[in-house]
Amino acid sequence: MEMYDDLNTVQKSFDTDFLTEYLLQAQWAEFIELKKIITELYIRKGGPLRVLDIGIGNARVPKHLSGIQEIWDMIERYDGTDNSQTCVDLSRQVTVRLGIQDKVTAYFFDAADLDQWAKTYDLIITTWFTAGNFYPDDFPFDSYHQSEKNFDLTKNEKFTRIFSHAYALLAPGGEVVIGSCYLDNEATRKKQEAFYSKAGMTIITRASDSFTATLERFWSQRFTEQQIQEYLAFIRPENIRFTPLDTYQYALQVRIQSNVK
């Protein structure tokens, strides 16, 4: 079962009364940066943008963007994918309720298969820690708590595969934006674990791991800038920009610009 297939889990994950201030403020910080990026790309292109949202969740981003007419007018088309049917259903309900289904479409689709996606976009986004959920297919959720050896994340082929395919879908001058990403440090690890414990989950990782995982098959990776650059080795370093989302080393946003001659 995918981590967001259970409706009760999904509701907790999106409930602003349940989420910590750290999570909520990272959410808004990346949204503020996203508005700036949309405006910048709109001016650069000279027209409305085609947007792909990998992991659309409950359509939070198009919901808030559509409430700001000046920004919403900069978007021509907004497609969203999610590998949780529960999330896709929620997104479709939200878009219908808001009357934005003419511009927004949610698809049940696994991001690992983006090489099969036929469209191109000016902006491809993965918001609010979704990129850290792309765990390796061989991770042993059921037995890891019994293991004495740390899981090797020198490479994360799923992460690299997803964003290499996303990068290939960019129109000239387009960007991939990854945010928020947890920063790998002790304080952030403890904040992750506190949230999962509050949700009633059983943590199976230890302090020496660079990710937090639960027996309920939740996974949330933490990153360093160097590690992200190594995962994205197919992109020129000068095309990758990091934006801190706070002053306490909790999260950052990553902007990846397409090669422009």
* Residue 176 falls inside a structural domain: yes
How does pLDDT run across 55-114, given as a tens digit for each residue?
999 999 999 999 999 999 999 999 999 999 999 999 999 999 999 999 999 999 999 999
- In this predicted structure, the answer to whether residue 261 has a pLDDT above a threshold of 50 is no
- In this predicted structure, the answer to whether residue 250 has a pLDDT above a threshold of 70 is yes
- In this predicted structure, the answer to whether residue 24 has a pLDDT above a threshold of 80 is yes
pLDDT at position 19 is 87
Asked if 171 contacts 122 with a C-beta cutoff of 8 angstroms, the reply is yes
Give whole-number Cα distances, 166 to 53, 172, 246, in Å. 10, 13, 26
* Residue 1 falls inside a structural domain: no
* Closest to 31 in 3D by CA, of 191, 261, 253: 253
Domain limits for position 159: 7-257
Percent of the chain with pLDDT over 70: 93
* Residue 2 falls inside a structural domain: no
- In this predicted structure, the answer to whether residue 15 has a pLDDT above a threshold of 70 is no
- In this predicted structure, the answer to whether residue 10 has a pLDDT above a threshold of 60 is no
Place of tokens 């509050």: 198
pLDDT at position 11 is 52
**How many domains are there within the chain?**
1
pLDDT at position 244 is 97
Q: How confident is the model at residue 13 (pLDDT cuts 50, 70, 90)?
A: low
* Residue 77 falls inside a structural domain: yes
Burial tier of 181 (Cβ tally within 10 Å: 0-12, 13-18, 19+): buried
pLDDT at position 1 is 44
pLDDT at position 199 is 86
pLDDT at position 6 is 54
Q: How confident is the model at residue 189 (pLDDT cuts 50, 70, 90)?
A: very high
How does pLDDT run across 147-160, given as a tens digit for each residue?
888 999 999 999 99
* Residue 57 falls inside a structural domain: yes
How does pLDDT run across 35-62, given as a tens digit for each residue?
999 999 999 999 999 999 999 999 999 9
* Residue 169 falls inside a structural domain: yes
CATH number of the structural domain spanning residue 231: 3.40.50.150
**What is the pLDDT of the chain when averaged over all its residues?**
93
Q: What tokens appear for 223 in the block?
A: 């990153």
* Residue 69 falls inside a structural domain: yes
* Residue 208 falls inside a structural domain: yes
Q: Which residues 6+ apart lie within 8 Å of 49 measured at CB?
A: 38, 41, 42, 74, 75, 76, 121, 122, 123
Quick one: average pLDDT of 158-179? 96
